[in-house]
Each structure stands twice: as structure tokens, then as C-alpha cells.
Amino acid sequence: MIRFIISLFFFGCILLQAQKPQINQDRLEKRIFELAKFGLQENGETERVAFSDADVAAQQWVVQSLTNLGLEVHIDFAGNIIGKRQGKKPSLKPISFGSHIDRVPNGGNYDGCVGSMAALEVLEVLNENKITTRHPLEIIIFSNEEGGVMGSRAIAGHLGKDALKVVNSTGFTMGEGIMRLGGDTTRIAEVARKKDEIAAFLELHIEQGGTLEKENIDIGIVEGIVGLKWWDVEFTGFSNHAGTTPMNARQDALLAAAKFIVAVNEITNSFDGAQVGTVGKIKAEPGAPNVIPGKVVTSLEIRDLSSDIIEKVYQAIKTKGEEIAKDSDVQIEFRPLDTTADPAMMTSEIQDAIGAAAKKLGLSTKRMPSGAGHDAQDMALIAPTGMIFVPSNGGISHSPKEFTSPEDMANGANVLLQTILALDKKL
């Protein structure tokens, strides 16, 4: 008799698990590869920087996919894709979720794409299981995340006019890009949501680091997202003949920039903590081997969970940069770019909901910071927000070598789905 009761119990559990709506792993993986076709190059890699033709085409494909899933879809004035699924109680605030589909130059197929395609998969599973949530659901695919979390900054109400002048690697300004994506720069202010207009916002994303893989953990529960600041740093020397100008009579802008780049690394490392400082871009003019460079512009990026640390590291770098410029008889100018993202702590209740959903699915979890910036850090300014991480193979990201297994993607999407259903009941 006991054996019968025990087997009945286990049969019940299996039945319950089977009844739980499940992500279709193959369909999710298929969508990732479908999306990767937008911007596919001859070498088999994909280029889809924000505002490019590939980005516009991918946006239209996502709009069509959402429409096919029965959502009411529009492009907001900042170029974000907004999809709405009715709930049983239209008066309730929406539960929103999503990510981005634009990429860095020479990027990978998973950054932003996993969270965006998982959001579509969640909607399809709800349709298949004929589930209507109490809350309306809203999917947001943010525009130009990589060039300064543009779309989410507009929704959070802090995308200023200066930001619209920032040029990304397509050569378009943010303002031109917004128009290309079907937005309207004259009406950006109307995109802003009031605080707490959204019941909760969730973003699934690849970790882009190696912690989960190293510690063999299925799901990361993000506690906080680093803040980041960008500057252009301009060195102005004097272009001159490389052959006839003695070594002690030069105003070599590139030599000064080279010393500056080393100094950025040394100064950033000199502080305790996990701050990071990077020079990722450099342009030397006139750029001929037989001309001493008279003008160089580099990027400068500093990130940390604390804005104070970012400021302290910046001030130390600036002081050293001015010293180097003086010794090199070169001018230096630091130009802050309006692409700042402030550090953002994730909402503990949302973290707990993610943890509970993962536990129910039998998945291991770890609470952790995000060294990468995300749209969620803007959404955290206006809504209770949480982020779900899945492992990145080798911790590689912002590279064509980026990879997350179909199983890990499905784990993340199931946690997203179950967290949405749990919050739908609770909120």
C-alpha cells in the first residue's frame, strides 16, 4: 500500500511538472539563429549595430513576430518596440519584460538576443497553454542599447538633447537613428513613463562573464548593475615631417595618447575594488606613416557599482592625462558623452521571486553584480526591476565567439516565464 501511495505521489509531481507551461528549447534556439540572419556577412558572422539597415530589418521582423503572436505592437517615439498582451484585469499595471537586439561591432549572437527571443517564446508558450494573466503583459525591445542604453533612457525619462548628437559606429547620430527606427525625436518626452506605471520589469540576459560557468551555477540573480561613463579624449599636437623633425622637437599627439592609455590601465588598477577603465577606440590624424600625428581622439570608459568611485578614478586619470600632455607639449581635452548610465540596484522582492522560480525548477542560483550595463538599469529608475543571468561560455562576450547553450537559454526562459506567472499572482 505504501509503495502505491509513494508512486502515486511521484506520478503526481511528474504530472504537475508536465502541466507547468514549458519553454520550447528548439524553437527558442531557432529564433536566435533566425535573428542572427539580419546582418549576416560573407564570413558567416553578423553585424547589426543600432540604426544599421540590418537593425531596422530585424526590428521589423520582431514587430511581425509579435503581431503573429496576437499582440498589439507599435514603435514608440524613441524607436523601442512595444508589444502589449491583454490581461484579465486591464486596470492592473503591466508586467514588462524584454531586452535589446542591436549589437556591438563584431559582436555575438546572444547579448540582448537571448532576453529578446526568450520574451517572444514566453508569449508563445502562454498562447499555446491558453493562459491569460491577470496583469497586462508588455514586451519591450529597446533601441540602441549598445550605444548608450538609448531606448530605456527615453522610457526612464532621461534621454537628453545632447545624447541625440552622439554618433555611433554606423556614423548616424542617435537622433538620425531614432528616425530610421520609426521614432520621432521631437516627441521623445512622450515616451517617458511615470514612476511605478509598470508593476515589474524583468530582463533575461547572458552573464557576459565567466562566474556562472566557473562555479557551475544555472542562474544568476543580479543584485546590482554597474554605472558607466564615457568620454572622448582629444590630444592636439602638431603634424610635422616624420623624417626631418628631430625627436626632441616634436608635439606628437599619438605618443601622448599612448602614454595616456597605459596610465588609464595603471590608475584604474591602483584603486581597490572591481572598477574597470578602458580605452576601446583611437583615431590618429592624418594617419600616414611619414607624418607625426597632430591630432588623436581616444575613447575613455570607466565603470563601477559606485558613482563616487567612477568620479575618483576619472579625476586621477584626468590629472595624469594633463601631466602627460604638458610633458609632451600637447593639448588634452576630456569631453564627457551624454551616454552615462548610473549604477542601479535590483529590487530585492523581484530577486526573491526569481530565486523562488528557479528553485521550483530545480535550478541552482547565485546572487551577483553585473559588470555589463543593461536597459534594466534605466527601468530600475521607474519600476521594481530584476535581471536573470544565464552562463556565457568561457565568459566571452562582445565577440563572435559568444555562446550560450540551448539548455542554458531554456533554463533562463523558464525562470523568466515562471517569475512572470508568480508576480502575476502576487502583485
Which residues of the chain form contacts with ligand HGY (CB under 6 A)? 111, 145-146, 372-373
Picked from ligand HGY, Mn ion, none, the partner binding residue 124 (CB below 5 to 8 A depending on kind) is none
- Does 286 sit behind a cis peptide bond, omega within 30 degrees of 0 on the bond before it? yes
Smallest distance from the beta carbon of 370 to Mn ion, in angstroms?
10
Dihedral pair phi/psi, residue 375, rounded to 5° = -60, -30
Rounded to an integer, what distance in angstroms lies between the CA atom of residue 179 and that of residue 187?
A: 11
Q: Is 111 in the site for Mn ion (CB under 5 A)?
A: yes
Nearer to ligand HGY, 166 or 332 (CB): 166
Q: Is 79 in the site for Mn ion (CB under 5 A)?
A: no
Rounded to an integer, what distance in angstroms lies between the CA atom of residue 64 and that of residue 128?
A: 18
Distance, CA of 141 to chain centre: 11
| Nearest alpha carbon to residue 124 among 417, 390, 427, 426 | 417
Nearer to ligand HGY, 277 or 373 (CB): 373
Picked from Mn ion, ligand HGY, none, the partner binding residue 95 (CB below 5 to 8 A depending on kind) is none
Nearer to ligand HGY, 100 or 135 (CB): 100
Nearer to Mn ion, 47 or 111 (CB): 111
- Identified binder of Mn ion from the candidate list 87, 112, 148, 177, rule CB under 5 A: 112
Which residues neighbour 150 within 8 Å (Cβ) at sequence distance 6 or greater? 50, 78, 79, 142, 143, 144, 159, 163, 174, 177, 178
How would you label 290-328 residue by residue, b for 16+ Cβ within 10 Å and e otherwise? ebbbbbbbbebbbbbbeeebbeebbebbbebbeebbeeb
Residues 181-220 that bind Mn ion (CB under 5 A): none
Among the candidate windows 106-114, 150-158, 161-169, 285-293, which touches Mn ion by CB under 5 A?
A: 106-114
Nearest residue by C-beta to ligand HGY?
372
Nearer to ligand HGY, 207 or 424 (CB): 207
Smallest distance from the beta carbon of 375 to ligand HGY, in angstroms?
9
Among the candidate windows 50-58, 107-115, 153-161, 407-415, which touches Mn ion by CB under 5 A?
A: 107-115
Q: Is 242 exposed, middle or buried (0-12, 13-18, 19+ CB in 10 A)?
A: middle
Distance, CA of 244 to chain centre: 49
Strand-pairing partners, residue 121, are: none
Picked from Mn ion, ligand HGY, none, the partner binding residue 203 (CB below 5 to 8 A depending on kind) is none
Distance, CA of 365 to chain centre: 21
Q: Are the CB atoms for 187 and 372 separated by under 8 Å?
A: no
Smallest distance from the beta carbon of 400 to ligand HGY, in angstroms?
15
Smallest distance from the beta carbon of 407 to Mn ion, in angstroms?
21
Nearer to ligand HGY, 124 or 146 (CB): 146
Nearer to ligand HGY, 251 or 377 (CB): 377
Smallest distance from the beta carbon of 62 to ligand HGY, in angstroms?
19
Smallest distance from the beta carbon of 186 to ligand HGY, in angstroms?
27
Nearer to ligand HGY, 111 or 408 (CB): 111
Smallest distance from the beta carbon of 155 to Mn ion, in angstroms?
16
Nearer to ligand HGY, 32 or 73 (CB): 32
Picked from Mn ion, ligand HGY, none, the partner binding residue 373 (CB below 5 to 8 A depending on kind) is ligand HGY
Picked from ligand HGY, Mn ion, none, the partner binding residue 213 (CB below 5 to 8 A depending on kind) is none
Q: Is 375 in the site for Mn ion (CB under 5 A)?
A: no
Footprint of Mn ion (CB under 5 A): 111-112
